[in-house]
Amino acid sequence: MAKRTVGFLGFDELSLEMAASLIRAGYSVNAFDSQMDSHCSMELSKLGGVKCTSPSEVWKGAAALVILVPEPNQMEEIIFGPEGGLKGLPNEAVVVLRTAILPSYVQSLEKRLADECGRSFVVDAYVCRATSKSSDGKVMITSSGRHEAIAKAHPILSAMSEKVYIFYGELGAGSKIKMVNQLLEGIHLVSAIEAISLGIQAGIHPMILYDIISNAAGSSRIFKKHIPSWLKSALPLQHAPISLVESLGSILGMAKSLVFPLPLLAVAQQQLILGSSHGGTQETLLHKIWENVLGVKLEDVVNEELYNPEEVACQLVERSKNVKQVAFIGLGAMGFGMATHLVKSNFTVRGYDVYKPTLTRFANAGGVIGNSPAAVSEDVDVLVVMVTNEIQAESVLFGDHGAVAALPAGACIILSSTVSPGFVTQLDLRLHNQGKNLKLVDAPVSGGVQRAAMGTLTIMASGTEEALELGGSVLSAMSEKLYIIKGGCGSGSCVKMVNQLLAGVHIASTAEALAFGARLGLNTRTLFDFVTNSDGTSWMFENRGPHMLDNDYTPHSALNIFVKDLGIVSHESLTRKIPLHVAVTAHELFLAGSAAGWGSLDDAAVVKVYESLTGVKVEGKLPPLSKESVMQSLPSEWPVDPTDDIRELIRNSLRPLVVLDDDPTGTQTVHDIEVLTEWKVESLIEQFRKMPKCFFILTNSRSLEPEKASYLVKEICRNLHAAAKSAGNMEFTVVLRGDSTLRGHFPEATDAAVSVLGEMDAWIICPFFLHGGRYTIGDVHYVADSDRLVPAGDTEFARDHAFGYKCSNLREWVEEKTRGCIPASEVASISIELLRKGGPDAVCEQLCSLKKGSTCIVNAASERDMAVFALGMIQAEFKGKRFLCRTAANFVSARVGIISKPPISPKDLGRYKERAGGLIVVGSYVPKTTKQVEELKIQCEQRLKCIEVDVENVAMKSSEEREQEISQAAEMADIFIGANVDTLIFTSRRLITGKTPSDSLEINFKVSSSLVEIVRRITTKPRYILAKGGVTSSDLATKALEARSAVVVGQALPGVPLWQLSDESRHPGVPYIVFPGNVGDHTALAVVVRSWARPSRLSSAKDLLLKKVGMQLVLSTSITWKVLRLLLKLQKRKIIHPAALKQGGLPLVACCVAAAEQSSVPITVHFDHGTSKQDLIEVIQLGFDSIMADGSHLPFKDNISFTKYISNLAHTKNILVEAELGRLSGTEDDLTVEEYEARLTDINQARDFIDDTGIDALAVCIGNVHGKYPPGGPNLKLDLLKDLHALASEKGVFLVLHGASGLSEKLIKECVNLGIRKFNVNTEVRRAYMDSLAVPAKDLVHAMASAIDAMKAVVAEKMRLFGSAGKA
């Protein structure tokens, strides 16, 4: 295949790197530049590229032409001149305008290329080098253009760079994104100089400040790269004031034209203008100005004696004194975590806070509480104060019941609140004057709520040596990084103040930059990703930017905190006579936010100031993408299938993969692998001795609360460790298989595993799952929805009440789930570009280069990507690296080299002749499952019985109602399965959630356990079992079916595992289909159920003859049909008795229902005298309008129980229920009840019976009988009927009289007047039929005609007698 050519018109050092990447990717490269230097020319030739002698030679036959446009009009003659016009460039070729000039010029250039040169595919490209740790120095490209142009250009852009950022729409995104980045660089440069200068003026060595802040929240890339050189008067030329002033001026000019305020950038530019106005060389201007402001020579300050604050802290801790009693005042968000961590560190801690519920929480956490600052301060060695501000600090120390008066002599006070250095100095003096030898440690903290609770704060402490020695053990317990700052009390607060200056400015500049980007029309999330790889980034940009993009202002640190902290900076600016233009302007922005009512929101809400002023929206929802376009834009897959190499390495490694599956759906990509549902050490030893390449342990931990899930994972890991040791010190790799839509216990499960197995070189996060449509591209996890890729954070899965999340970008997701303990900026990433261009060796190299304990996410868009990663990971393991993997199913099959096989059918397992019904159980509540259940019911309506389990009854109501729901469902299912009918048991589709994630998990448990109990009670062995949903399938396998192990045979459908249960299970050998809740389209469940249905009967005579199935039996149905049609012309109700059902079965019912539907008068079909619960359950499903639950043969309480059960069940189908109280004597359908067994209806019992059963009609016993009345005639108790009528009217119940044959017209009328609304007539109709058969007839047809006439006459007479004739 011929190589595709890319031409370069204009060539520089970046062009050379792009050309090298293209050549490595298999492209050929032509280049022309009249001024190409010898180095570039020589290197291009070495790579195999061609240096052309004319522009037309470059673009001839090229697939793409990259045109370097450094300045407007520079390429006018070459492109549009007489020799130009891009003649010879194919019409389908892409023109890439490499430029960052103004968008308006790029857009006009695009138009001219279209109008004058016929170019349809034009994109722009801003090319620069990445500066992030992971991609430092590598080429990245920002490109914009129309969708079709980008689709053509994307593979080429990807091939020539490390990262590509795409903006769809008009050209000019490169110029815009460069503006935003320069805006941040300018603000960060000036604020860094302001901060260092403030620190110098406060007497802190600038290099100590630099070292501390470079690892703190105030850090930025500009600060880290340029402050050391600025201090030495060697600022790089690109950030010299004059050139930067011009760039920032252009940005401000653009903002002016858009009527968009950039206050931070404006004051930063003013400082730079001040510098450029003082003459001198560009590199030294700001340096000299700040020397004048500070009155010092910066070089002398830098050269002052240095010390290491961390080493000083270590020495201090070693000689610190033992502390027994600690008081802690201020148990807010930070203080509570700090105090409880001290309790966990075995200090006795007395706590006080004005908020009483917090005191209760603290007592529950093991602390001792007091009712005032004084009460907790008596007899303590150390007092820690962690209140909000100086006023509160003053109050708790010196106010009513203040701590100072109660403290013993010689005690130490650690002040950890953020306050001004001046306040600390005054406090130290005031404590000294108390005459109690009280010692003060100035120890502000940084790190946030989570780190406070973990004891991993950064603390900047200062004070006398004696004070620090007394408080040293407490400071050490609360911190991960402890810095001792020399200079006495106030020095620690100075360092914190400088850090807060930078942190506050960086939050505000993030808001200004993202808001300006939104006004420029840029996708703010893509803009954010670009900046994080550029010099414009900062710690706060990467931490707070996502809050702004998600429009999530849940307060992690309130906006009012920076009103206070930058207020301290503004005050120090005034008192120290040092101008801090940028910091003071940032303070005004936070003040504006607070004044607008946003002070209690997260500090990222400062962006709302810009949004409210300008109307822009910074929120950067990741848009759904065209799946086809995205896949086409990716580089070609790695050309070699690594599966054989993986298998070979596994054979040699003897290192099994142990998959801890949080539900059974993780087996959806494997076959011929064993699954254990228990983890006793003995079972695991046996498994290890089999030397498997892989085995699963089903933990079902997703259904547990976090603490229980962690305990379970620890237990399994301990058992694995013990078993592996007993089996010969085997090594193994653990995979925590989790949901591909990111739900589950992360990071709890990984933390638990590491606590037992030891620290890993890296955690691997890999949720790619092809069959579920889960792709990770550009670090963003997507869920396929038809032809679109939807960011996972925008799907219903992200709204899960137990495991919900917001972030789709996996790096941000890790930060979100770890609550900031692992920042997004510290998460490594294996890109698709690395997988497809570098292959397994590049993966191995990157994994081996990771810092120990890293977290690494894996991008993947195909199974080949997954296999490439798996081979690279195995290679790294051979080099001694250890990994803990949190992955979806595809990783497992790739890691052990499994090749997929076609779906398994019942015939493959020899199960197609089994006759029992199949059992389908659906517990999953996700919307996809609901759609699949609805489609299943539509497609399989004729051969599927459906039983709905009311979630509210089993999870939210009484134990009695729960038991009734469970027993009813189990009985029905047992009957249907025994009748060879496939049966669907599904939970009601209304999702019920709790107030907290724990409450929701508890509800889920109750629902799942109810399904378990239902299946446990089903005694009939199903033909197969299908469980829908992860938790459902796990619980059914382990608890309901009691399986200790199973073998994954394969898949029933791609992504739908098929197991065979082990011999000890309740149904050994029964196929068990594990259907994940989030797999397949809306028809997938129906497809599986239909493929596992019993073969349907042959439906026609033609089928019988074609299949040669023996003789054909011909029966005339016209007789039965004719009888029904004629009778239905007269009757209002067609009654079927149990004996008739037994004889005629379903065909008889079908005939009755069909005839009723075709009748010209209203007809209902009734099932009479149902004494068998099984019969009644079955007929409820068959389309009857009403039934009689006849428990008259039972004792009263049993009759109530029987009738209530059937009544509740029938009412779910809107079926009217009749029941009998008392008992009729006589004979009907060969069943005789003797006279001594007869019982009249008891009026007192009737009231309770009606109330308890909820029936609609009551069949009364008032002396009526079945069959013939005695010679003396009927003796009906009409007084009893009168009382029953009064009760029935009160309760809204109809009265029914059985045994109406033989009643006189007078009695009938009296009964009607006393409330009887239905009479049952059987004996006289039967007698007429039998009498007609005694008369000889020529043929069966004539005999039937005679019988019809005879019955017709009786029915007509009875309808007249009952008053029903002619009322239809």
* pLDDT given at position 710: 94
DSSP class of residue 904?
Answer: P
370/393 Cα distance (integer angstroms): 17
CB of 1022 closer than 8 Å to CB of 977: yes
The count of other CB atoms within 10 Å of the CB of residue 596 is 13
pLDDT digits (tens, 9 = 90+) for 103-119: 888 888 888 888 878 78
Amino acid at 146: R
pLDDT of residue 1362: 75
- Would the pLDDT of 1113 be above 60? no
Taking only Cα atoms into account, the Rg of the chain, rounded to an integer number of angstroms, comes to 41
- Over residues 209-220, mean pLDDT: 93
**Is the pLDDT at 283 greater than 60, yes or no?**
no
Reported as a single tens digit per residue, the pLDDT across 520-576 is: 999 898 899 899 999 999 999 999 999 999 898 988 889 999 999 999 999 999 998
Structure confidence at residue 351 (pLDDT)? 97
Distance, CA of 631 to CA of 860 (rounded, Å): 11
User: What is the amino acid identity at position 475?
Assistant: L
HSE-up of residue 772 (Cα within 13 Å, Cβ side): 31
pLDDT at res. 238: 43
The stretch 1301-1317 carries a mean pLDDT of 87
What is the overall mean pLDDT for the chain? 87
Tokens of 492: 């620690």
Q: Which two tokens stand for residue 262?
A: 């950039």
Contact 850, 828 (CB under 8 A): yes
What is the per-residue pLDDT for 827? 86
For range 1305-1313, the mean pLDDT: 89
Distance CA(141)–CA(173), nearest Å, equals: 11
- Residue 834 is classified by DSSP as I
Question: What pLDDT score does 1320 carry?
Answer: 79
| More confident: 784 or 55 | 784
Instruction: Give the chain's end-to-end CA distance (angstroms, integer).
Output: 83
Query: At 1343, is the secondary structure helix, strand, or coil?
Result: helix
* Coil/strand/helix, residue 296: coil
Task: Kindly tell me if the per-residue pLDDT of 150 is higher than 90.
Answer: no
**Under 8 Å between Cβ of 421 and 494:** yes
Q: What pLDDT digit, counting tens, does each position of 1027-1042 carry?
A: 998 778 888 988 899 8
For 348, counting Cβ atoms within 10 Å of its Cβ (0-12 exposed, 13-18 middle, 19+ buried), the class is middle
What pLDDT is stored for residue 1104 in this prediction? 31
According to the model, what pLDDT value does residue 397 have? Answer: 97
The answer for residues whose C-beta is within 8 angstroms of residue 1357's C-beta and 6 or more apart is none
pLDDT for residue 598: 97
For residue 621, the model assigns a pLDDT of 77
* Range of weakest confidence among 563-567, 1168-1172, 1187-1191, 1241-1245: 1168-1172
Cβ neighbours for 626, distance < 8 A, ≥ 6 positions apart = 147, 787, 788, 789
Where residue 711 falls among pLDDT bands split at 50, 70, 90?
A: very high
- What token pair was written down for 1103? 């089928």
Q: What is the pLDDT of residue 1298?
A: 87
Place 1114 in a pLDDT band, splitting at 50, 70 and 90. Answer: very low
Q: DSSP letters along 1147-1178, please?
A: HHHHHHHHHHHH-SS--EEEEEEE--HHHHHH
pLDDT value for 1100: 36
Closest alpha carbon to 822 in 738, 885, 751, 745: 751
Active site residues: 496
- How many CA atoms, within 13 angstroms, populate the side-chain half-sphere of residue 258? 21
CA–CA distance, 939 with 932 (Å, rounded to integer): 10
**pLDDT confidence of residue 219:** 95
Q: What is the dihedral of CA 723, 725, 729, 730, to 10 degrees?
A: 20
Question: Residue 88 — very low, low, confident or very high, per pLDDT cuts 50/70/90?
Answer: confident
Residue 1260 has pLDDT above 60, yes or no: yes
Highest mean pLDDT among 52-61, 992-1001, 1019-1028: 1019-1028
Percent of the chain predicted with pLDDT > 90: 53
Instruction: Return the ∠ at Cα 555 (arms to 618 and 495), rounded to 5°.
Output: 95
DSSP-assigned letters across all residues of 79-146:
HHSTT-TTTTS-TTPEEEEE--S-HHHHHHHHHHHHHHH----EEEEEEEE--STTTTT-EEEEEEE-
Q: What is the pLDDT of residue 1279?
A: 92
Amino acid letter at 325? Answer: Q
For the chain, percent of residues with pLDDT exceeding 70: 92
pLDDT in tens, 726-739: 998 999 999 999 88
DSSP per-residue string spanning 5-61: EEEEES--HHHHHHHHHHHHTT-EEEEE-TT--HHHHHHHHHHT-EE-SSHHHHHTT
pLDDT in tens, 616-632: 999 877 788 889 988 98
AA identity, residue 116: E
Number of other residues whose CB lies within 10 A of the CB of residue 222: 22
Residue 420 has pLDDT above 90, yes or no: yes
Over the range 111-128, which residues count as b (16 or more CB within 10 Å of their CB) and which as e? eebeeebebebbbbbbbb
Question: Are 1268 and 1302 in contact, with CB atoms under 8 Å apart?
Answer: yes
Residues 899-954 pLDDT 10s:
888 898 888 887 666 778 899 999 877 788 889 999 999 888 778 888 999 988 98
Residue 240 confidence class, pLDDT cut points 50, 70, 90: very low
E strands of 964-1102, at which residues?
Answer: 982-987, 1025-1028, 1045-1053, 1056-1061, 1071-1075
For 828, phi and psi rounded to 5 degrees? -80, 165
- The DSSP letter of residue 768 is -
805-808: long-range contacts at Cβ-Cβ below 8 A with a sequence spacing of 24 or more? 805/742, 806/550, 806/552, 807/546, 807/550, 808/622, 808/780, 808/781, 808/782
Q: Which residues of 1157-1194 are buried (b: 16+ CB within 10 A; e: fewer)?
A: eebeeebebbbbbbbebebbbbbbbebbbbbbbbbbee
The answer to whether the peptide bond before residue 840 is cis (omega within 30 degrees of 0) is no
Report H helices in 161-205.
173-201
CA–CA distance, 482 with 478 (Å, rounded to integer): 9
Q: Which helix (H) or strand (E) holds 551?
A: none
SS3 category, 409: coil
What's the pLDDT at 1139? 64
pLDDT, tens digit, for every residue of 944-977?
Answer: 888 999 988 988 889 899 998 999 899 888 888 8
Strands 657-661 and 694-698 turn out to be parallel
pLDDT in tens, 655-697: 899 999 987 777 888 999 999 989 999 999 999 999 999 999 9
Q: Look at the pTM and tell me if it is higher than 0.95.
A: no
Q: Is the pLDDT of residue 287 over 70?
A: no
Q: Which of 384-388, 860-864, 948-952 has the lowest mean pLDDT?
A: 948-952
pLDDT higher than threshold 70 for residue 152: yes
Burial tier of 143 (Cβ tally within 10 Å: 0-12, 13-18, 19+): buried
Average pLDDT over residues 990-1011: 80
